Homo-oligomer: A and B are copies of this chain.
Amino acid sequence: MCRKTYFEAIISIVMARKTITIKETLPKLASLMDLLSAEEHEVFEQRMTLHAFRRNEIIYSEGDASTYLHCLIAGKVKIQKKGVGGRPQIVRVIKPVDFFGYRAAFAGQNYASGALAFEPSVVVRIPMATIISTLIENPRLGWFFIERLSKDLGRADERTVNLTQKHIRGRLAESLLFLRDSYGLEEDGSTLSIYLSREDLANLSNMTTSNAIRTLSAFAQEKIIAIDGKKIKLLDIPKLEKINRIG
């Protein structure tokens, strides 16, 4: 982790060909900040800090004390959990402006999963102590988190069933569609806007890296996708959806 000044954070982002100013940061947090009273808003603003992370940098690790709520302002983040023999599994991905890293504190636990930056990212941190004490007073803030937790829990159950029951091709197809839904496509309307390693793709789809590469090649051969280094073009989305559906 590297805690940085606003200035440094902004510079990092600019280097990643995106621009962000302090003026832009607060409005992005609006979905949460709008729920607060004037005094609460003031307290939050005072206590929040801005941080920049490089590609693959750790935002927090499994086992860390869950001290802060995180909000991704810019960039892309993966939430992953170690399994048998330390083999990581990506359980969620975060896009701007999503909140993350709050579950463990609500459950009174240390982090059960770690957060890493897929690419240069800017994160706002707010102490969980502030969140929880405000929550006890402000039911609208409570509802904010109830909705998010409920949706995440639904997705987690869905994911458990899909990862355990589908075959490799189905799981990879699902991951590709999931990445499209999460991060969208580039201007050409077919290239995924996220470039992740084959290893990450494997950890997202519950397979070995070899099999992620192999199956990706098979999809390319079948003209379902096109591969150009880390760039993946989705050529035949109906077919991907079919492969995903039938498992």
A interface residues with partner B (beta carbon < 8 Å) = 81-85, 87, 89, 91, 103-104, 106-109, 112-113, 135-140, 142-143, 145-147, 149-154, 156-166, 170, 206, 246-247
**Do residues B157 and A146 form an inter-chain contact, with CB atoms below 8 A?**
no
**Nearest chain B CB to A43 CB, angstrom units:** 17
Q: Min CB distance, A92 to chain B, in Å?
A: 8
**B158 x A160 contact (CB < 8 A):** no
Overall SS of chain A's interface: helix
Instruction: Give the copy number.
Output: 2
Distance in angstroms between the alpha carbons of A145 and B144 in the assembled complex = 12
Counting chain B CB atoms within 10 Å of each CB, the highest count among A81, A84, A145, A166 belongs to A84
> Smallest Cβ distance from A126 to chain B, in angstroms?
16
Q: Which residue of B lies closest to A140 (CB)?
A: B136
Contacting residue for A149 out of B82, B85, B112, B153, CB 8 A: B153
- Which single member of B103, B138, B142, B151 contacts A150 (CB below 8 Å)? B103
